Amino acid sequence: MVLPISALDTRSSEFIDYLLRLKTPAAPEIFEDAVVFTASSIYKKVGVAFASENFSKIHWFSKLLVPIDDTVTFDPKSKIPPEMLRDSGLLFYAWMPEQRSVTIEYRLIIDGLWCADPLNRERKVDPYTGLELSVTAAPAFPQEIPREEGVLTSLTLSYRAERGEIITVAGDFNGWDPFMYQLKESAPGFYTISLPLPPGRWRYVFFHRGQRVLDPANLDKVYAKNGMTANSIVLK
């Protein structure tokens, strides 16, 4: 079994026993200093993105593999041939937040579709974007973790269109999700949005009436990974 969770001692018998006790996927649970997310392995690929990271990074789940013979004593420190392992039916990811908070807000990416966690009834609506976010309790911090504080700046974008339109923006800051960030009509036909982001180069594109639209006010254009053209901007 491969358990690539850098924030935990994945070879501890306590954590292995905890994973093996999970019979079916459920709402997130706290294990020591981490939150464990689970999903069914019927999905090809499941990931989670967090509001604390501005949904800019996707953390992918791993498949929980168990011995074919349930009577075999499993030693996580030993190497077991793949032919002796089977799919347990669970995908999982363990998240150890670096910031002190009471709750964690997140969205799942299930086979390419961004959505709220279908197994978690605790949700909220982001008043800025109107999107539904899943909410779960955060682990308690036994003590302050020393870390270098990141510096955030603001990416402010604007777009002109007819009144009452829906304009959204996607980029490498949110996994190119075209539904996550909606611009606000601050004046008739004038739409704006400000996103807190760290300094660096960011790529983005607007979506208007279901079509990708480049920012007419930004002449800096690049090709995204999918081969399509996008705008590029540098935050200092």
For residue 226, name the pLDDT band (cuts at 50, 70, 90).
Answer: low
Is the same domain home to 121 and 186?
A: no
What tens digit of pLDDT does each residue of 152-200 get? 788 999 999 999 999 999 988 888 889 889 999 988 999 999 999 888 8
Is residue 215 a part of any domain in this protein? yes
Provide the residue range defining the domain that includes 123: 13-137
118 shares its domain with 209? no
Any domain includes 172: yes
- Domain membership flag for residue 104: yes
- Does the residue 94 lie in any domain? yes
Answer yes or no: is 78 within a domain. yes
Q: Into how many domains does the chain fold?
A: 2
In a domain, 231, yes or no: yes
More confident residue, 24 or 109: 109
- The pLDDT assigned to 120 comes to 94
For position 3, what pLDDT does the model report?
35
pLDDT by residue (tens digit) across 8-65? 555 566 666 777 777 789 999 887 778 889 999 999 999 999 988 888 899 999 888 7
Do residues 64 and 127 both lie within one domain?
yes
Question: What gap in Å lies between CA 234 and CA 138, rounded to an integer?
Answer: 33
- In the predicted structure, residue 122 carries a pLDDT above the cut 50: yes
Q: Per mean pLDDT, which of 127-141, 151-165, 222-236 is the most reliable?
A: 151-165
- Six-digit token string for 45: 């690929």
Residue 69 falls inside a structural domain:
yes
Higher pLDDT: 163 or 229? It is 163
Tell me: pLDDT of 116 over 90: yes
Q: How confident is the model at residue 224 (pLDDT cuts 50, 70, 90)?
A: low
Instruction: Kindly state whether residues 160 and 225 are assigned to the same domain.
Output: yes
Report residue 6's pLDDT band, with 50, 70 and 90 as the boundaries: very low
* Same domain, yes or no: 114 and 170: no
Q: How many CB atoms lie within 10 A of CB 174?
A: 24
Residue 147 domain flag: no
pLDDT computed for residue 2 by the predictor? 35
Q: What is d(CA 109, CA 179) in angstroms, rounded to the nearest whole number?
A: 13
Q: What is the 3-state secondary structure (H, E, C) of 31-81?
A: ECCEEEEEEECCCCCEEEEEHHHCCCCCEECEEEEEECCCCCCCCCCCCCC
Domain holding 173: CATH number? 2.60.40.10
Q: What is the pLDDT of residue 164?
A: 92
Asked if residue 131 and residue 68 are part of one domain, the reply reads yes
Q: Looking at the structure, do residues 126 and 194 belong to the same domain, yes or no? A: no
Q: What is the pLDDT of residue 230?
A: 87
Measured between alpha carbons, how far is residue 88 from residues 45, 65, 122, 190 in Å? 15, 6, 26, 52
What three-state secondary structure class fits 11? Answer: coil
Residue type, 85: L
128 and 162 co-located in one domain: no
The last residue of a domain, from among 111, 137, 163:
137
Residues contacting 203, CB < 8 A, separation 6+: 171, 172, 222, 224, 230, 231, 232
